[in-house]
Amino acid sequence: MLEIKPIFHALCRSKVGAVLLLLQIAITTAIVSNAAFIIQDRIAFLNQETGYPEQDLFKFNVMTFGKDVDLSQQFELDESMLRALPGVESAAQSSSIPLSGSGSASSFNLKPAPQESKSVRTAYFFIDEHGLDTYGVKLISGRNFSEDEVLITNSPTDRTTNVTVITEALANELFPESDALGKTIYFGDLPLKVIGITAPMKGPWLKDSHPNNVALIPYIQSRTYAQFAVRAKPGQRAAVMKDIESLMLKNYSKRVINNIRGLDELKDEYMAADKLMMRMLIVLITILVLVTALGIFGLTLFNISKRTKQIGTRRALGARKSAIINYFLVENALICSVGLFLGVIAALLLGQMLMQHFSIAALPPSYIAITAVMVFFMSLLAVLGPAKRAANISPSIATRTI
Amino acid sequence: MLLHYLDLSWRSFKRTPLVSFLMVLAIAIGIGITMTSLSVYHMMSADPIPHKSSQLYNVQLQTMDEGHTWWTGDDIPMQLTYQDAENLYNAPIPDKKVAMMRTGFSVYLDSDEVKPFISNARMTTPDFFNMFDVSFIYGGVWSEQQEQSAAPVVVISKELNDKLFAGENSIGKLVYLDDDSYQVVGVINDWPLNLKYYDLNNGAFNKVEDLFLPFSLIKAKELNSWGNSNGWKYENIRNFADRLQSEQVWIQFWAQLDTTEQKTAYGNYLTSYIEEQKKRGRFTREKPEYSLRDVNQWMEYNNVVSEDNKILVGLSFMFLAVCLANILGLLLAKFLRRAPEVGVRRALGASKRQVFLQHLVEVAMLGFIGGLLGIVLAQVGLLGVRQSYNYYANLATMDLTMLLSAPVIAITTCIIAGLYPAWLVCKTNPAIYLKSQ
């Protein structure tokens, strides 16, 4: 019915064209399946939930050069001014800013250093009792800091803080068996009692080995270089951001306010390289598929023009139009299957290579399967047009020139 | 003869405009994609200081105890502790060496004309400018004596000089940095670096600092690093003096070693330095370990060319291979259709070789046109790259090498694709075609 045998023999007579097509299909399958996997990986990374209302949050830096001021007092004044603004929900000084790509991390332990004990990498924020509200993060259990638990100091040696609020991810990693609430963990030799556990919130580095481990510590050391986080009321962020510099300078002028950036903007910047990679790969595979489709299209057209007489003769001998179309579809399917077989092998090899040399996970077989099916249908689609044209070749052609 | 072949090629191009156009398009797309990723790769991996890159060495020391690991390939920290940097700087060899750190200040003048702003600064010892080939417009570097005495002097960039002093000679003028005044002793020329190769792990794509000050000011003014500082063990650091004495690493150190002898001598010196420090309870590892990497090795070690970029270059060459297969198919179709004409030419006395060459010239011409069009496409691609990634603003461009290599790659690809069809067509047996006409 499918006349595979004669088609195969005909193919053997024009091997080069078939081999070229087969190679194109194989390479295309290899590239597309691997690229699709990387793209999917990046999309998941780009769209991940961070735990913050990024659209409403922004940060700014304060660099104080005036020496005639008590920084702690000044920052308290600044914070109250910020919180009182009509467009602002909450504001807090924060030692580092989430998603920004810069911050501090350390290992948090179950025993005080230098004793050896379980040790977990954790990003930490020095922040006051307004921190959670400012970042819009909910507590799952326990409580927030009270005002008198927050240590505000100008002295770098003063370290009498003794409580912390940590994320659920960190709690589970430190205490996989039991509830972390009420337990004591150690930041160096400093004991911190866990008084609250928060919903997921990301640390400063989304590409960190432990991006979900975050600890909030109620310790405000006022430095000449400080960062503030502000959560605006929905839709009012732009207006608040515009006025922030003049408002802050009005409070005290011997300082520089800069880097006034939205949290979403910081995240975009941190992710810019990944977005670029994703875009370039999408462009690459789209054009690649188009080029391959055009290649198949062109080659079929060429084959048809070579076989015009042959097709005419077949039609004259009684072949239906559908038989002609079938012929080309089956021929293409044959080439394509071999090409896909090679393509699957090539895709696996390429995936293996990428995994060996780069930090890319193993290519799941489903990506190869889906790509193969899609390439197969694409090739059928590319052949369909020329095949229909071939079917319309008039039988009289065969009789005209012999 | 070449001109004649070119003429023939052009006629052939015009005779089958669609197929020719498709071929040019295929090669142009292939080149466009390949050159886009290759250009970024090329610019990132380019030697930033070619005439000197093999004389400048970054110094690393294995300060960590046995069993501690670092994320670098060889487990050695990328930066030095302050005490090691200070000791190595005061060492008798080599002649030229530099210890440095990135920080920043709020900058203002003694007038209200310029609103205070923040600038990045590099705390460095004076050899920096000579070692990294930085030239001055006005003045020069501070003296070794000023370095030792932590003098309040500053070298500023041309951009900052334009901003603060309207580009005039500002030597001797005062600038306020964080409430202290500093005297300008030098203004450096524009120093366009795509990549801050001298400090790769503290913002390699950031622009060069605007302020350069004596390294000794770190201690005098208790300046904090605006770059990475890393510790590997618990230390009770309560004040700045503790930090200077700690095992935290936060200082970059380079040495200029002009000859292999100097390099060996310096290696020996480092070994003996480690042995000497051992007696004081530091460097507890059995085997003394240090590392000297020249500029290119240092860039390689720091994975300056991102993984993504390498993958893209690989994939785009595979893409080019698909385009090549495509062109090969189209060329076969085109050349074979012309077999009767070739038969006549052969019968009139053209040798196989001439026919072969004629067809190669034709594909080379296609490659050339495709290459030119490919450059245009690559420019569009690079524009897209620049727009979506700020850091690549300087890197996503084509320099002369890339502009020249685009047509070369295109022509090579086309000739590879054209070899088989040209060979097929030159084998044509004239008799067959003469008969049927």
At B163-193, the pLDDT tens digits run 999 999 999 999 999 888 999 999 999 988 8
Residue of chain B with shortest Cα separation from A281? B312
Average of per-residue pLDDT across A61-66? 89
Cβ–Cβ of B312/A280 closer than 8 Å? yes
pLDDT, residue A12, reads 74
Cβ–Cβ of A256/B325 closer than 8 Å? no
Mean pLDDT of chain B: 89
Cβ–Cβ of B176/A65 closer than 8 Å? yes
At A309-334, the pLDDT tens digits run 888 888 888 888 888 888 888 888 98
Average of per-residue pLDDT across B309-319? 92
Is any Cβ of chain B less than 8 angstroms from the Cβ of A17? Answer: yes
Please state, in angstroms and rounded to a whole number, the distance separating the CA atoms of residues B57 and B2.
Answer: 51
Please state, in angstroms and rounded to a whole number, the distance separating the CA atoms of residues A367 and B407.
Answer: 35
Contacts of B304 in chain A (CB under 8 A): none
Of B95, B103, B88, residue with least CA distance to B127: B95
pLDDT, residue A158, reads 66
Is any Cβ of chain B less than 8 angstroms from the Cβ of A33? Answer: no
Give the orientation angle of helix B260-278 with respect to helix B82-89, to 10 degrees.
Answer: 130
How many alpha carbons fall within 13 Å on the CB side of residue A197? 15
Please state, in angstroms and rounded to a whole number, the distance separating the CA atoms of residues A348 and A29.
Answer: 10
pLDDT, residue A401, reads 59
- To the nearest whole Å, the CA of A30 is away from the closest chain B CA by 9
* Nearest-CB residue to A302 (from B29, B333, B391): B333
Q: Determine contact, residues A372/A343, Cβ cutoff 8 Å.
A: yes
pLDDT, residue B68, reads 80
* Nearest-CB residue to B322 (from A24, A225, A283): A24
Q: What is the pTM of this model?
A: 0.86
At A170-218, the pLDDT tens digits run 999 999 988 999 999 998 888 999 999 999 999 999 988 889 999 999 9
At A32-58, the pLDDT tens digits run 999 999 999 999 999 999 999 999 999
Q: Which amino acid is at A249?
A: L
pLDDT, residue B153, reads 95
Please state, in angstroms and rounded to a whole number, the distance separating the CA atoms of residues B80 and B62.
Answer: 9
* Nearest-CB residue to B326 (from A269, A274, A295): A295
Residue of chain B with shortest Cα separation from A354? B311
Is any Cβ of chain A less than 8 angstroms from the Cβ of B398? Answer: no
Average of per-residue pLDDT across B57-79? 86
Q: Which of A284, A301, A401 to mutate to test the interface with B (most CBs of B within 10 A)?
A: A284
pLDDT, residue B399, reads 86
Asked whether the predicted pLDDT for residue B75 surpasses 80, the reply is yes
Secondary structure of residue A59 in the 3-state scheme:
strand
Is any Cβ of chain A less than 8 angstroms from the Cβ of B37? Answer: yes
Q: Determine contact, residues B145/B217, Cβ cutoff 8 Å.
A: no
Please state, in angstroms and rounded to a whole number, the distance separating the CA atoms of residues A195 and B435.
Answer: 99
Secondary structure of residue A129 in the 3-state scheme:
coil
At B18-51, the pLDDT tens digits run 888 888 998 999 999 999 999 988 888 888 899 9
pLDDT, residue A157, reads 63
H helix or E strand, kind and range, residue B253:
strand B252-256
Q: Determine contact, residues A196/A141, Cβ cutoff 8 Å.
A: yes
* Nearest-CB residue to A284 (from B116, B306, B319): B319
At B95-119, the pLDDT tens digits run 999 999 999 998 988 877 788 889 9
Asked whether the predicted pLDDT for residue B303 surpasses 90, the reply is no
Segment 197-256 of chain B within 8 Å of chain A by CB: 224, 233-234, 236, 238-239
Of B324, B419, B326, B330, residue with least CA distance to B20: B330
At A79-93, the pLDDT tens digits run 999 999 999 999 999
Q: Look up tokens 């005639």; give the residue.
A: A68
Cβ–Cβ of B323/A67 closer than 8 Å? no
Q: Which amino acid is at A292?
A: T
Is any Cβ of chain A less than 8 angstroms from the Cβ of B178? Answer: yes
Of A223, A216, A208, A204, residue with least CA distance to A102: A204
At A98-137, the pLDDT tens digits run 998 888 888 899 988 778 888 888 999 999 999 999 999 9
pLDDT, residue A402, reads 47
CB neighbours of B283 closer than 8 A, spacing ≥ 6?
B61, B62, B63, B274, B277
Give the orientation angle of helix A321-357 with respect to helix A15-46, to 10 degrees.
Answer: 50
